[in-house]
Structure 1
Amino acid sequence: METTMDTEVKPGNRKGKPNYLLEFKRRLTVAACESGVSVSKLAFAHQVNANMVFKWRRDLRAGLLEDAAPAPATLLPVVLARAPAGARSKAAPARRDTIPAGMIEIVIADAMVRVRGDVNASLLKTVVQSLRA
């Protein structure tokens, strides 16, 4: 059984590392899942490494080659309120690294962003939008 498909490649951002279109990956892996198909021959015919096709096949079976784009993150409104003096909880001891007034600190994985000074909604929006890129 022989299957022919156009190899659809869009230029990658790294030299020598093409980015294959999702539809091409899906069609190739579906063909690789058919009975009696040699994945190595199929990969060779489409100038793709056989190990890559095996990985794409695993991804297909795990549902990772789906069309659905990830849902956009939803930001929730944040309201800051000052706690009354002496209202500190006994269960939560005071931290030495508390954030002083007029500063934003955002920690994502190993990255930390601190913004000091006049922190307002416009500045916070700019900071969060720059983190998306």
Structure 2
Amino acid sequence: MDTVGQPNNRKGRPNYPAEFKQRLAKAACEPGVSVSKLAQQHEINVNMLFKWRRDLRAGLLTESESGSQQAHLLPVVIQRAPARATRVSTASSTSMIEIVIADAVVRVGVGTDAALLALVLHSLRT
């Protein structure tokens, strides 16, 4: 595999093509592969390869049609439900939404603490 990086405005830091990152990240996910040895073979920092592998698993390491990486963000609005004087029915207490991020599934039920949900979603991004 070719490890030559593209020149950019940061001195001493190569900008590896997205295809190269994907190829190595996929190879690092294979069973029995030593990520450290793979990084050493391609003369890259092992921590960088671990990051590429995390990004690949989170669906962040993709190549757009233009060849550059692009994040796709969706707006999220968290609002407090108005307090009710009556008891919540069984049907609405079992209502929940499901958020799928790469291999992770987060199920959010009625009454979930907004701060806790924000923490969980933030931890999935990193």
- TM-score (structure 1 length as normaliser): 0.47
Structure with a larger share of its residues in helix: 2
- TM-score (structure 2 length as normaliser): 0.50
Indicate the structure (1 or 2) with the bigger Cα radius of gyration.
Answer: 1
**RCO higher in structure (CA 8 A, sep ≥6):** 2
Structure with a larger share of its residues in strand: 1
